[in-house]
Amino acid sequence: MSDFTNQVAFVTGAGSGIGRATALAFAKQSARVVVAEINEVNGQETVRQIQQVGAEALFVRCDVADPAQIESAIRQTIKTFDRLDIAVNNAGIGGKYGRITEQTPEDFGQVMAVNVGGVFYGMQAQIRQMLFQQAVDKEKADNPMAGGKIVNVSSIAGVRGMPMGAPYSAAKHAVIGLTKTAALEYVRQNIRINAVCPVYTHSTMVDELISTAPGMEERMRRMIPMGRFGQPEEIAQTILWLCSAENTFCTGQAIQLDGGMTAG
Ligand SMILES: NC(=O)c1ccc[n+]([C@@H]2O[C@H](COP(=O)([O-])OP(=O)(O)OC[C@H]3O[C@@H](n4cnc5c(N)ncnc54)[C@H](O)[C@@H]3O)[C@@H](O)[C@H]2O)c1
């Protein structure tokens, strides 16, 4: 696995689940990590775990649905670590479990604001900073291996319909559209932008879904050919590879991490 020494990784929603596993995985490979999270207690706990493995971390309280807060989080990143190399737009919410006719405008708006707005505003602030760094560091600008890397966390619900979760599925489809478009817009500036699409992965979000009905966990498990949920660390490893020096040619992709679900 690549070494991320001297690189700064900014991870949203890093206080739990996939975000925390990703932040820790970067830290174990010597990155300096920014934990951008709305939940201060959980975010600070991730910082503590990162420091325990001997890496540097910064907590920034940030609601990704608010463009001003994301911009401020990137400013704090630069103030502390002086640069931004990697961004993982992971923060997300599941939204209400129910059919389209049962979803209110507020249910829809909240999921779109966090899951789509967070990725859109996140990329705006991150790409601006990455372009600025290239402008002041000409040597890097000419090196196709040295541009910034961004990974957006979509979902299998971003490539398939998800009955009882229309706002979530719509939002995760939108994340893939944003990823592909941004990848094309900045490909010549050597910024590589990809998405990951996990299937059910052990986390608070999945625990909430499981609790909506008896037998739900077994029904969800049966949908996955491998017969098990993903582990947050398995998603993190793919995110790290996408951001690593080994990824020289992959951009604009939505990588499905689904235990075989979409193969059938
Ligand atoms: N767990 C799964 O099965 C699964 C599957 C596919 C995709 N995903 C996606 O993975 C990402 C991470 O989810 P998870 O499963 O680790 O869930 P999780 O609930 O454990 O973690 C989500 C984190 O995001 C934070 N967050 C929520 N709203 C925020 C906001 N407005 N600003 C900043 N932070 C905010 C939460 O506080 C939490 O720490 C989400 O985008 C989710 O949609 C998860």
Q: Look at residue 43 in the predicted model and tell me its pLDDT.
A: 98
Spatial distance between the Cα atoms of 157 and 58, rounded to a whole number of angstroms: 31
- Whether ligand 1 lies within 6 angstroms of the CB of 206 is answered as yes
Residues with Cβ within 8 Å of 149's Cβ and at least 6 positions away in sequence, in order, are: 85, 86, 87, 191, 192, 193, 242, 243, 247
Is the shortest distance between the CB of 17 and ligand 1 below 6 Å?
Answer: yes
Statement: residue 144 has pLDDT above 60 = no
pLDDT per residue as tens digits for the range 187-218: 999 999 999 999 999 998 888 889 888 999 99
Give the span between the Cα atoms of 181 and 183, in whole angstroms.
5
2 HSE (CA, 13 A, CB side): 18
Which atom of ligand 1 is the closest one to the Cα of 113?
31
**CA-closest candidate to residue 221, choices 258, 182, 175:** 258
Give the residue whose CA is nearest to atom 14 of ligand 1.
17
- Could you tell me how many residues make up the chain? 264
Mean pLDDT over 43-63 rounds to 98
pLDDT (average), residues 36-54: 98
Report whether residue 91 contacts ligand 1, using a CB cutoff of 6 Å: yes
Q: What is the DSSP letter of 189?
A: G
Q: Compute, in angstroms, the gap from residue 91 CA to the centroid of ligand 1.
A: 5
Q: Is 200 in the pocket of ligand 1 (CB under 6 A)?
A: yes
Instruction: Find, among 161, 157, 42, 65, the residue nearest to 115 by Cα.
Output: 65
Strand residues in the chain grouped as ranges (E)? 8-12, 32-37, 57-61, 86-89, 149-153, 192-198, 254-257
Is residue 1 predicted with pLDDT exceeding 90?
A: no
Q: What count of Cα atoms within 13 Å lies in the side-chain half-sphere of residue 244?
A: 15
Q: Is residue 37 in contact with ligand 1, taking CB distance under 6 Å?
A: yes
- Which pLDDT does position 142 carry in this prediction? 61
User: Which is it for strands 86-89 and 254-257: parallel, antiparallel or unpaired?
Assistant: unpaired
CB 213 within 8 A of CB 164: no
pLDDT at 145: 59
Q: Which atom of ligand 1 is nearest to the CA of 21?
A: 16
In the chain, the largest separation of any two C-alpha atoms, in whole Å, equals 58
How many angstroms is it from 3 CA to the middle of ligand 1? 26
Mean pLDDT on 74-86:
98
Matching CATH number, 8-263, of 2.40.160.40, 3.40.1350.10, 3.90.1150.10, 3.40.50.720: 3.40.50.720
Pairing status of strand 149-153 against strand 57-61: unpaired
Q: What is the mean pLDDT of the chain?
A: 95
Q: Token match 């008896």: residue?
A: 214
Active site residue 168: yes
Residue 151 has pLDDT above 70, yes or no: yes
